[in-house]
Structure formats: C-alpha cells, structure tokens
Chain A
Amino acid sequence: MKVPSASARASRSDELGLRRALSGWMLPLLVAAMALLAALSMAGWVGSTALSRQWHEGAGAALTVQVPRPMEPAVKPEGTRLAAAVALLSAARGVASVHVLTDAELAELLRPWLGDSAGQLALPMPAVVAVKLKGAAVDLGALGRTLEESAPGTMLEDHGVWMRRLSALAFGLQACAMLALVLVCGIAIAVISVATRAGLAARRDAIEIVHGLGATDGFIAGRFARRAMLLAASGGLVGGLAAIPMFVALAAFAAPFADNARPAMSVQDLLAALPLPLWGCIGALPAVAAAIGFATAQMTVRRWLRHLP
C-alpha cells in the first residue's frame, strides 16, 4: 500500500480547507502589530512600577529632621537638643539608621544657594539629621510629638506630599499602560473574530457538507480554533521579536538614570539590563496571542453554527 504523502497527511487535518480560507499574512501581521503594542504597554507598566518602587525606596524611605539650636540643653532627657533628638530617633520603631550631617555636608547642600562660602557664614544653622526607614510603618505623628516635647521647634519632614503626588503619577502611568493593554487585547479579539467570520463565509459549503456528514460543533470550531491559534501565535512571535530592539532603545535612553549607569553600554549590556518581567512578556506574547486566537475562533464559530440544525 502507498504511504500517504505529506500533503495527504496535511489535508487529513484540514477537512474544511482552512489553509486557504484563513491564509496570507494579514492576520499574523495585524496580530504582530497588536503584540508589539502590548509589549510596549507592558514596558510602560514595568517602567512605571520600577519608578514607583525607586521613589518609595528613596525619598519615601527617608526622613529629614531639623533641630534648631542643637547645642542647647534639651527639655528631657539630659544633654543637648541634638543628642536627645538623635537618641529618640535611634530608638524609634521602623528607623533603620540615623545620620547627623556634618558641617561639610551641610555646606555642600547649601552651595547651590550660598556658594562656596556657605560653610564660613556665621548663620545660626540647625542640625540636620538624615533618617532612613525600614519596612515597618513609622508613626510619624507620635515621633514628631516626642521630638517636640524633648527639643521644641524640631521639624520633621517626611516628603509625604511629594510621595503622594509621585505615587499618583506612577499609578496613573500604570493605569494607562493597563488600559492600553486591555484595548490591544480587545482589538486583537475583534480582528481575529472578523477573520474567522470571513473564513466561515468562504468555507460555508465545506462546513455544511462536513456538518451533514456528522461533524459536531466542537469538531468544526476546533479546526477553526487550531488555525486561528497557529496564525495568532506566529503574529505574537513576530511582534515579540520586534519589541526587543525597541526595548533595547528604551533601555539605552533610561540607562543614564539607572543606579548602576555606565558611560557606554553595549547592546549585550542593555539586553542584560532589561527587567525580567519584560523578557517574560516577550516569551508570553505568542502563547497569549495563541490563547486569544483559539478562544475567539471557538466562540465565533460555535455562535455561527447555532444557525445550522
């Protein structure tokens, strides 16, 4: 007996002739464009999340305490106002470290306003204490009241207003990225649905014949879904690959702002610097596109088949 050829084997799984009905580059191309937009939306999400985290770990995890007349005696306990404030801060829950700025450091801070002579001015300067916080929430109200009782006039600045604004900005960026992602998925579903309907119209006769021979809705929908899944997956793969150079370009723009910035980073360095979630996104794009293609085609075909007895 003759062994069936490759084309015969292929036709066995293409009873409806979908390789012709759902062919060409249009669907994969559109899905690739959607996948690229989805990848860029994910990049926006990942970037805004990273920025938000940096802000929280930087300004959000720091306090600045100003102690006027630092060398005068404190109300309680005994000692200078500065020593009392440092002791209270060091003992407070949630405080990681306390650092009293030196005169040189103060002069450096004031240099933009007072110039190089800032350190030599005979101004009554308050002591500035930089406090780093750790994970646990600090009761700033209680801490402020304790400092006020010990060294009246001590000011505690927690950058709260800026943090709230930056957090709102980060949340807005994340929401925009998520909205873009949802829109892209919606458009991808619409595109695949339209392509599937076109395939149904083109292969109506074949569907009716196969249906008449006893094919179930699941069989017919499965054939369409498999084809749509394959095309969508290929589009997702192309879109994901196209996103890589864009991510590298974005990484090159963002590199100077990174903590570990170096003067000239190679493409390999930039690729290595890409956050893991972005690599995960690129890897997941074909699978997600395939899942969307499969589910959309299944639903579209099953709904259409309800018109047949």
Chain B
Amino acid sequence: MVRFESVGLRYGGNGGQHPSPEVLHDISFELPEGMFCWLRGASGAGKTSLLRLMYLAVLPTSGRLTLLGADIGRTPRASLPHLRRRIGVVFQDFRLLAHLTAFENVALPLRLAGGAEAQIRADVTELLRWVGLGRKLHVLPRALSGGEQQRVAIARAVIARPRLLLADEPTGNMDEEQAERLMVLLRELNRIGTTVVVASHNDALMNRHPAAALRLEDGRLVRGA
C-alpha cells in the first residue's frame, strides 16, 4: 500500500548551487493495506512533510516511494491525478474552498473523478446528513462553525471512498468530545478497509486509541516508537 525506501525530501529539489536543507532523511517503512497508523513527533519533526509525500503534494528528492502499487518515481506526471483521487486528506486548517458551499466542497472530488451528477447529489447529501450538516448543504464555509467546517473537510476527504486516508492533526481545533467522534469515524473507515494514517501529538488521544505508530525526530524515523 505505502512503501518508503530510503526516501529523502528537500524542498526546492536537489538543483541549484545552494540546495535547501533536507527535511526528511533516509525514511524507510511499509504500511500494509487496511492498517491504522499514528504518525508521532514533536512540531517540526517532519510529520506534515511525510504526509505531503504520501498525498503527492511533493515528490521525494531521493529514495523510492511506492503508493497504491505505483512507483512514484516511474509514474508519469499525467497519471498522478488519478492516484491522488484514491487518497483522502484531512487538513488541520480544513482547506475548504471559501467560495463553494459545503455541498460543492464535498462534491468536488466526485466531480473531478467524472461522477454522474444525480449520484453525486445523492451521495453528498447523504454524507453531509450523516455528519450532521443536512440543514447546511448550501451554506458557505465562513457561515459554519469550526467544528462544522471540520466535518465538511472530513466528508470531502472520504466521499470518494479513498483507499488511503491521511489526517494532519485533525483534532487540533476540537474539544475532546468532537475528537472522540472523529476517531470513531476514522476507525470505522479503517474497519471497512481504508488504510488510515493520522499525524498527531495528542498523547492522550493516542493512548485511548492504541495502534501502530511511526515516530519522527528531526526528519528521521525513530525505530521502536
């Protein structure tokens, strides 16, 4: 499902006379399909950079990355969008499109994948009702509370039934109850086969939901975490 082999990442690439410092060094691990995995580490350890590699926002500058069976270094750029559509991402800052309604934000992944409009309407409406936003389908994000925006972001990440779901500090802006509800949702998605990776530094949450973990320190993977 996800395999890192001596992967390094340097923003701005390796080119130029003064390349930027490497933010991830010699990362190697493998996540089998259907796994739930915590990604631990202090702020600045490289969790977000590792997730960015996993959702193809950046490409490795060294090593080999295999995602969903595709060797990214050998995959043509034109094929990457199709891979991205099979990866869902929940961002800490939600990253909703401010000019689109909750419905349009959630429908976007399906429309990009070329789904039928009638099916999209039914699926998005059902999912938004399920996350408790059935009355706010056509409301813009700025008119939603932080928790509601979070639920829209989660709905957008899971609407296309991704095979890999990544979450970057998803509970950072939530109270304990909301965080627990989100964990139940992520666990449920994992139970039906989605591989889930959650970056967090919330030890209490991780202790309540024990699972395999990767620990990063200064851009390096620490064994035995």
Contacts and interface: CB of A to CB of B under 8 A. Distances in A.
Contacts of B80: 309
Contact of A15 (B58, B100, B121, B156): B100
Contacts of A214: 81-82, 84-85, 109, 112-113
Contacts of B89: 212
A151 B78 CA distance: 83
Interface in A207-232: 208-217, 219
Interface band, chain A: 20 to 34
A86 to B, nearest CB: 78
Contacts of A205: 95
Contact of B85 (A4, A8, A14, A213): A213
Given A216-B78, A309-B57, A309-B58, A209 B104 contact: no
Contacts, number: 70
Given A214-B113, A309-B58, A14 B103 contact: no
B97 A17 contact: yes
A165 interface: no
Interface string B66-92: 000000000001101110110001000
B99 A11 contact: yes
Interface residues of B, number: 32
Given A214-B84, A309-B56, A309-B59, A219 B100 contact: no
B126 to A, nearest CB: 11
A2 interface: yes
Given A2-B138, A212-B84, A309 B77 contact: yes
B112 A215 contact: yes
Interface of B: 55-59, 77-78, 80-82, 84-85, 89, 95, 97-101, 103-104, 107-109, 111-113, 121, 125, 137-138, 156
The 9 closest A-B pairs by CB, nearest first: A214-B85, A214-B84, A17-B99, A214-B81, A216-B81, A309-B59, A214-B112, A213-B109, A215-B112
Given A217-B78, A309-B56, 5 more contacts: A14-B99, A15-B100, A210-B97, A213-B84, A214-B85
Interface of A: 1-2, 4-5, 8, 11-12, 14-15, 17, 20, 205-206, 208-217, 219, 309
